[in-house]
């Protein structure tokens, strides 16, 4: 991926513009849209106390998720991983970068590792969608890619499960296109040390951590009554 400025390591004027756009425009706008349109509820913020950095693994089922994730973690600094094209394209790539997106190289996805390390060392959170693709309004998370959990082992930082729960609501009987009520729930941090075992390869330890975090998200959706029968849902392939 060609070198592009980011809100983490770009020139000072780019970082300044990013700070203003993100904190004074994007966060207030997404908060209002989230509350008024999505009926947004955020739970589990107390689990961030005492944590200045970490990785975030979230299920992926609506388009506004990065913005709501930003609201969920605000005022903490957070980077959002995105497909390479979303940050390099000429029309809106500059805007997604200003809004703290960093690209995952198509030809070498693990190449984002240096950015992840730099972000963590600078006191940022870094968010990933381990499913790798959006499953529109599905409450059935697909298999996880394991890069984020490899980075957790490599940098010895926790992964915070971030569960998006979708709930039916009466307004959708009149307006079926209206978004379901949306909850974002921060789970207890999951630490790589909990999966370290001298009898296992690192690949197996990473896999076990991945499965544990995925199960937290699945269990949270079930506990909160996430609707698995939304008419517009598209489960993962």
Strands (E), 87-227: 101-104, 125-128, 159-167, 181-186
pLDDT tens digits for range 147-160: 999 999 999 999 99
Instruction: Give the pLDDT of residue 2.
Output: 63
3-class state of residue 159 by DSSP:
strand
Pairing of β 54-58 and β 101-104: unpaired
Contact criterion met (CB below 8 Å) for 86 and 156: no
* pLDDT tier for residue 106 given thresholds of 50, 70 and 90: confident
* pLDDT tier for residue 234 given thresholds of 50, 70 and 90: confident
- Give the C-alpha distances (Å, rounded to integers) separating 47 from 71, 88, 189: 15, 34, 7
Query: Which residue, 135, 5, 6, is CA-closest to 63?
Result: 135
Query: Which residue, 183, 181, 180, 187, is CA-closest to 219?
Result: 187
3-class state of residue 54 by DSSP:
strand
* pTM of this structure: 0.93
| Full set of structural domains in the chain with CATH | 12-223 (3.40.1130.10)
Lowest-pLDDT range, 58-62, 131-135, 185-189, 223-227?
131-135
């Amino acid at each position: 991926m060609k070198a592009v400025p980011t809100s983490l390591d770009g020139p000072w004027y780019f970082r300044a513009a990013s700070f203003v756009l993100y904190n004074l425009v994007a966060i207030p706008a997404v908060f209002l849209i989230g509350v008024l349109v999505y009926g947004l509820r955020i739970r589990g913020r107390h689990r961030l106390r005492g944590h200045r950095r970490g990785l975030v693994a979230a299920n992926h089922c609506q388009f506004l998720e990065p913005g709501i994730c930003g609201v969920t973690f605000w005022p903490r600094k957070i980077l959002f991983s995105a497909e390479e094209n979303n940050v390099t394209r000429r029309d809106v790539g500059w805007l997604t970068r200003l809004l703290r997106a960093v690209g995952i190289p198509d030809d070498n996805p693990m190449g984002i590792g240096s950015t992840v390390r730099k972000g963590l060392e600078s006191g940022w959170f870094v968010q990933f969608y381990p499913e790798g693709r959006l499953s529109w309004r599905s409450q059935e998370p697909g298999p996880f890619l394991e890069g984020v959990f490899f980075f957790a082992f490599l940098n010895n930082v926790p992964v915070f499960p971030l569960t998006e729960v979708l709930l039916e609501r009466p307004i959708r009987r009149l307006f079926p296109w209206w978004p379901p009520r949306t909850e974002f729930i921060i789970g207890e941090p999951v630490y790589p040390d909990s999966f370290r075992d001298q009898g296992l390869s690192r690949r197996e330890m990473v896999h076990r951590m991945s499965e544990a975090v995925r199960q937290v998200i699945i269990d949270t959706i079930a506990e909160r009554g996430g609707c698995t029968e939304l008419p517009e849902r598209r489960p993962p392939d």
